[in-house]
Structure 1
Amino acid sequence: MSNKRFTLAWLGGKEWLVLLLWFGLSAIVGLKEFMVDNHNNYTIFKHVYLHTIHGQTLYGPYPEYFDVNNYGVLFSVLIAPFAILPDWLGSILWVLTNAAVLFLAIRQLPLNRIQQNLVIIFASHELMAASSYFQFNPIVAACIIFGYTMMRKEKDFWAACFIMFATLTKVYGIVGLAFFFFSRHKLKLIGSMVLWGAVWFAAPMVLSSPQFVVRMYVEWYNALVVKNVQNAQIDKGIVLQDISAMGFIKRTFRLPYMSNLVVIGPAMVLFAAQYIWLRYKDDVRYQLLILSSTLLFTVLYSSSSESPTYIIAFPAACIWFMLQPRSTAANIFFVYLLIGTSFSHSDLVTSWVKKNLVVPYAAKAMPSLMLWLLIVYQILTRRFLRWPQVGAQFSH
């Protein structure tokens, strides 16, 4: 056991390896995908800015790319500095910026340096997968984490900034309210959310007009309703969407018309039940379990979840592993999470497994679902009280 601890501590102590894996893999895969002209997502993102400044709808089909935009009009402000650059440069800087923001968020977690490094190392492959699609999800994950870390530091004004920014770009950010009870300044937090909501709502007006921005928020709502219906159409061969708990259950048990509420309803009850132990809200172990549960919940119970969306969920698995008392069972389960989640859509599994098992059954969701249920159990049974204090493990 001591040898395993030493190995993880040794691995987490390699600062050069942390930077190389996190930024190097993402930069390489981003450049590779751009060179083979596989950057449709970035093209969509760039045109959110272009369509905004020209007053064109953000949610219709355009000949420059396939698929449609599903982000809020605020996204036009974020993508603007990249969109005005040549595509090759803007796309790579976009990938690296996403990586940098999530990197900084992980650095804010109340873990020791080695634990932070291990989270980054283990999550680097999932980041690479998201980067290959030029995804915005790393920043979404970072906003959720910053929402927690800022509240923990009693910086509720900035917590509200991150939560509202993510909410008005991809809706997911609203889950940052899961940390509301950790705040010592709840009225300040509520006021700050109103303020930042107004700021972020109005920000795109710098690029366009108030009338256009209001109209786009209405169109965004309608577009999300349509997308949610499309995501559920697994009987029509749409298998790369809804990689969620609902998608996994529907496909595995052949229940294509099952209502998502059958799964989401009990899940929300279980999520709410985690707050019965709010007396421990100042215990970092409890806080980090709630954070992990929130990150997993965001992906597991969204019909919009795709494989690269798991950059939001997989850091939660890494954080959970850092909290666990060292044991063979924890090690084996984490390896299963690593393979079943992070590597399941990669070339590290055979094409037959990916084609016949992972994709058609939304199997990438299964390890995360198991972990989320385990975290709920660990919270409800107060198992975390028996664990070492955060920072005590993997230290030299």
Structure 2
Amino acid sequence: MLSFFKKPVFSDYRLLFGLYGLIALIASIKTVFVFGSNNYSIFYYSLQHLIEGNSLYNEYPAQYEDHYHYAPTFAAMFSPIFALPYSVGLFLWHFLFASAWVYAVYRMPLTHRQKVFAYWFALQEMLTALTNSQTNPLIAAIPLFAFICLEARQPFWAALFIVAGFEIKIYSIVAGALFILYPQKIRFLAYTLFWGIVLSLLPLLFTSPAKLLWQYEMWFRQLLIKSDHDKWANTSIHKLIHLFISPDITTAAIVGGGILLFCTVYIQVRKFNEESFRMLMLASILIFQVIFNPVSESATYITAVTGVLCWWFYCPQTPLDRVLLISCFILTVLSPSDFFPAYLRDQFTRPYALKALPCVLIWFRVLYIMHTYTPAAKPIQQPVSTL
């Protein structure tokens, strides 16, 4: 069976890109013609509310359930999609984000074989992400694009990606931790300030300054409400700690502890010039922003799985690493799918947040490797260039 999958056709980009296009098509057909999408409805009507001067953060039960949790900039950034008829925009939505992730992986400094492995490994996780019609594949791609730009010594564009990620989902700002590993730090911070101002003011194309300031006030209030989330309704290290250690440990303590551990690798200054160290830092960022997010859910794990792949390509690949990778594929990637026994999913993986467990363990493994061992740089198939 394994020899069958070693045939050249399975490493052909045309097949792989076609498969990702197919799952995007499946997600679009299901949401447009069968199930609909409450998440996309939240996104879609945000532009209308912004133009009309209504609060983006009020409840609109006639249009969608739940609340809008994004920055006002989000509505303006995706206005070309939201300006289309609802069904057309929803149909294109999945293709937009799937292609962003696929292209980001393609541009990474990886060998052809590594990219092929990444596409096959993450295929089911991408389908899980797309069926929710959220922005998670794009959130997974943004740190990759920022990394590519920083490797190419293009802090201007790296800053754009990081600020854009923050405007979509605030925890994407974690990708900004990369800039410490590179030269031109002051220039990067200046560019970040520039793009922060530009993107924050982008909604002025659709609303007045006074209304925009009011929208930002509502956003900050909504973030406080969002952060006060039921500790049992997430798939992250928070739930694992509350289940297996103590339910009294606060979210702030968990996140604070995670940040301290995350930052310990900065003492390895001499390793900043090693490509493998920087790639492991990228892996740490991608996994961290999911497992320490107190409102993470299954669909967000395309980001963490992308981090797992970055770790795998630059870790020692010991028997322990192989066990961790296999456990990630089974518990993280396959557990939400029909390939996984429903009884085990309903009785164990969901109640005990076992989807998060391999990623949590791999994150600690990443930190250990960064402190104790940096593998030799892997051969690069092509030089990193401009996007």
Shift of 1:177: 1.5
Shift of 1:309: 0.7
**Counterpart amino acid of 2:55?**
T
Deviations 1:322-377 (A, max 9, x none): 22455555434322111111112222222222222122222211110000011111
**Distance across 2 between alignment mates of 1:29 and 1:329:** 35
**Distance across 1 between alignment mates of 2:205 and 2:370:** 45
1:389 maps to 2:378: yes
Shift of 1:121: 2.2
**Counterpart amino acid of 1:248?**
L
The alpha-carbon distance between structure 1 residues 289 and 12, as it changes in their structure 2 partners (threshold 3 A), is farther
- State the match for 1:251 in structure 2: 243
**Distance across 2 between alignment mates of 1:101 and 1:47:** 23
Shift of 1:378: 0.8
> 1:117 aligns to what SS in structure 2?
helix
Q: 1:156, 1:183 within 8 Å by CA — same for their partners in 2?
A: no
Note the residue ranges of structure 1 that are not aligned, 5 or more in a row: none
1:153 maps to 2:169: no
**Counterpart amino acid of 2:372?**
T
- State the match for 2:355 in structure 1: 364
Equivalent of 1:301 in 284, 292, 314: 292
- Output the TM-score relative to the length of structure 2: 0.92
- State the match for 2:130 in structure 1: 131
Shift of 1:135: 1.0
Equivalent of 2:331 in 314, 317, 340: 340
Deviations 1:295-338 (A, max 9, x none): 00001111121110111111111222222455555434322111
Shift of 1:150: 0.7
Cα root mean square deviation, aligned:
2.2
- State the match for 2:79 in structure 1: 80
**Distance across 2 between alignment mates of 1:23 and 1:308:** 18
Structural mapping, 1:87-166, within 5 Å:
87-166=86-165
The alpha-carbon distance between structure 1 residues 360 and 349, as it changes in their structure 2 partners (threshold 3 A), is same
**Distance across 2 between alignment mates of 1:76 and 1:265:** 31
**Distance across 1 between alignment mates of 2:44 and 2:111:** 38
**Counterpart amino acid of 1:32?**
K
Equivalent of 2:26 in 21, 25, 28: 28
- State the match for 2:171 in structure 1: 172
**Counterpart amino acid of 2:240?**
F
Between Structure 1 and Structure 2, how many residues are aligned?
380
The alpha-carbon distance between structure 1 residues 352 and 376, as it changes in their structure 2 partners (threshold 3 A), is same
The alpha-carbon distance between structure 1 residues 261 and 304, as it changes in their structure 2 partners (threshold 3 A), is same
Q: 1:337, 1:367 within 8 Å by CA — same for their partners in 2?
A: yes
Q: 2:275, 2:377 within 8 Å by CA — same for their partners in 1?
A: no
1:376 maps to 2:375: no
**Distance across 1 between alignment mates of 2:380 and 2:10:** 13
Shift of 1:10: 4.8
Deviations 1:247-299 (A, max 9, x none): 1221344x333212332233222211112222121211111100000000001
> 2:215 aligns to what SS in structure 1?
helix
Q: 2:324, 2:361 within 8 Å by CA — same for their partners in 1?
A: no
**Distance across 1 between alignment mates of 2:21 and 2:271:** 36
> 1:313 aligns to what SS in structure 2?
helix
Shift of 1:209: 1.4
Q: 2:274, 2:377 within 8 Å by CA — same for their partners in 1?
A: no
1:287 maps to 2:278: yes
Shift of 1:9: 8.9
The alpha-carbon distance between structure 1 residues 196 and 9, as it changes in their structure 2 partners (threshold 3 A), is farther
Relative to structure 2, which stretch is displaced further, 109-118 or 8-17? 8-17
Q: 2:40, 2:133 within 8 Å by CA — same for their partners in 1?
A: yes
- State the match for 1:278 in structure 2: 269
**Distance across 2 between alignment mates of 1:352 and 1:330:** 28
**Distance across 2 between alignment mates of 1:389 and 1:144:** 20
Relative to structure 2, which stretch is displaced further, 336-345 or 114-123? 114-123
The alpha-carbon distance between structure 1 residues 8 and 156, as it changes in their structure 2 partners (threshold 3 A), is farther
**Distance across 2 between alignment mates of 1:346 and 1:153:** 38
Q: 2:182, 2:272 within 8 Å by CA — same for their partners in 1?
A: no
Equivalent of 1:47 in 39, 45, 48: 45
**Distance across 2 between alignment mates of 1:8 and 1:184:** 41
**Counterpart amino acid of 2:144?**
I
Identical-pair percentage: 27
**Distance across 2 between alignment mates of 1:45 and 1:230:** 21
- State the match for 1:57 in structure 2: 55
> 1:74 aligns to what SS in structure 2?
helix
> 2:167 aligns to what SS in structure 1?
helix
Q: 2:272, 2:278 within 8 Å by CA — same for their partners in 1?
A: yes
1:15 maps to 2:6: no
Q: 1:140, 1:312 within 8 Å by CA — same for their partners in 2?
A: yes
